[in-house]
Structure 1
């Protein structure tokens, strides 16, 4: 087994086909195909399932990819030894776009800003993708909200993949609306009328993560606004009658004086 073969496997897995990987690496497709075929023969199992639509990892290939990703990380670290510099690399993937997460990440950056080298990444994704990326070694830490209904399922999934789950704390799910919202004019807040208004959520939040909340009928699937950025979400909530559903608002949130947070019964 050669390091170059591992690099080719990672490239094919990343781009989804031999031809795309060949194009990106500026080498011929037959060279990639023959090199990976030789590796599969040496290993005694197929890494990829080939089809006219592209390639997919076999179960063995999935495990191979996980180990290969970690190997490449270690090799990168060994190469940095010669420079005499400690290269710090840490990737966090979160489904929780919250001030608390942003503040913690900022503190991490401040703590290492005087170092010789640092490569820290904070990115957003849904919980399913986070688990997969952790399993494959693509990220170092995943942070996400788990509904108590689906907690056992996640624990079983993570355990089977050799991953650990640590519960940091418990948060309430709240409704977030602007202080100008028409429903606040009522003496008693009528949750059943929320479906008349758009719901704004993040693209990395999924209905399957909170089945009980969506089953309550608060969200109208015909009135959905999907964004990626926390500031855009805040802007929509404060300037329209759209509402959001999320955890407790951090007291240092920039728009704390423009919104109302109501616990969902």
Structure 2
């Protein structure tokens, strides 16, 4: 199957006519008919049927249309990216993080007009997929100690490596409207009294380890989670304007305080999360990757 075949198929479906599709594609009607016939033969189904108004999609054609349109859009994006690429690129995937956002901004400032930068947010599976698929050079993740062995096994299938940097515990982010805003810390036993927002389902999410690290004091099923979102913008607004809080790694950017958001340390919480980076096996790190990693390590030492 070729991109050209999908282009002819979508154009014919959009215009409902082989002649109008040919005009749109700057080719002849017999050529469009030939390409469509070749596509139907290749996939083994009829895509169009004739009626009094011209031609229309069959049920198989309707099923293919959405996927074909999506593929063509992605193809256009790829071509646009390649054609506009005038500088080196540096792409990172990771969690929603104001700290990494700040470091990426600093890297941009130091490489202005020399580098195109990208930062993609996601859960562990998405982050590692981005690296494996060459969308990102590295992925920044944190994994619970007892899951590292499983994590490395998963990475092996994707031909990736995990490089630990340091270990941290967890904290609870709250805004100025939260009744505990004047506190500096919280006990595990108090977590069930709070309202949490829940993000994307993630096998490696912090919440899955609450019972173990709290010594049985707190249980995942007892946490009150009235709000679901995977939007960083929504998370910030909920923290600033409601009594809903969220859980995260105890590696907090100072910019949060300027936004009326603070992080409560969780008392007696061990450093059970290992923060590190993922990259493709045998790939050398760029200077920008090394710079980002160094900034993370230095910041951790300053806390």
TM-score range for the pair, normalised by the shorter chain length: 0.5 to 0.7
Partner of 1:44: none
Question: Is 1:121 matched up with 2:123?
Answer: no
1:143 to partner: Cα distance: 1.3
1:228 to partner: Cα distance: 3.6
1:185 to partner: Cα distance: 8.9
Q: Secondary structure at the match of 1:150?
A: helix
Partner of 1:263: 266
Partner of 2:202: 206
Partner of 2:104: 105
- Judge which range, 137-146 or 123-132, deviates more: 137-146
TM-score w.r.t. length of structure 1 = 0.60
1:183 to partner: Cα distance: 5.5
Distance 2:237 2:258 in 1: 9
Q: Gaps (5+ residues) in structure 1?
A: 12-18, 38-50, 56-72
CA contact (8 A) 1:192 1:218 kept: no
Give the RMSD, CA atoms, in angstroms: 4.5
CA contact (8 A) 1:199 1:219 kept: no
Q: 1:224 to 1:140 in 2, by over 3 A?
A: farther
Distance 1:34 1:143 in 2: 46
CA contact (8 A) 1:192 1:217 kept: no
CA contact (8 A) 1:93 1:143 kept: yes
CA contact (8 A) 1:179 1:260 kept: no
Deviation string, structure 1 residues 29-77 (Cα, Å, up to 9, x no partner): 655576799xxxxxxxxxxxxx99979xxxxxxxxxxxxxxxxx9xx87
Distance 1:23 1:106 in 2: 45
Distance 1:21 1:191 in 2: 60
Partner of 2:275: none
Question: Is 1:165 matched up with 2:162?
Answer: yes
- Judge which range, 121-130 or 231-240, deviates more: 231-240
CA contact (8 A) 1:97 1:124 kept: yes
Partner of 1:243: 245
Question: Is 1:174 matched up with 2:171?
Answer: yes
1:20 to partner: Cα distance: 7.5
Q: Secondary structure at the match of 2:265?
A: strand
Distance 1:23 1:195 in 2: 55
More strand by percentage: 2
Partner of 1:226: 228
Distance 1:214 1:53 in 2: 48
Q: 1:184 to 1:109 in 2, by over 3 A?
A: closer
Count residues with an aligned counterpart: 215
Q: 1:130 to 1:235 in 2, by over 3 A?
A: same
Larger of the two Rg values belongs to structure: 2
1:199 to partner: Cα distance: 0.7
Q: 1:181 to 1:224 in 2, by over 3 A?
A: same
1:156 to partner: Cα distance: 1.6
Distance 2:42 2:111 in 1: 41
Distance 1:52 1:127 in 2: 36
1:130 to partner: Cα distance: 1.7
Q: Gaps (5+ residues) in structure 2?
A: 15-20, 22-31, 45-59, 65-77, 213-217, 270-303
1:89 to partner: Cα distance: 2.1
1:232 to partner: Cα distance: 3.4
Distance 1:90 1:101 in 2: 14
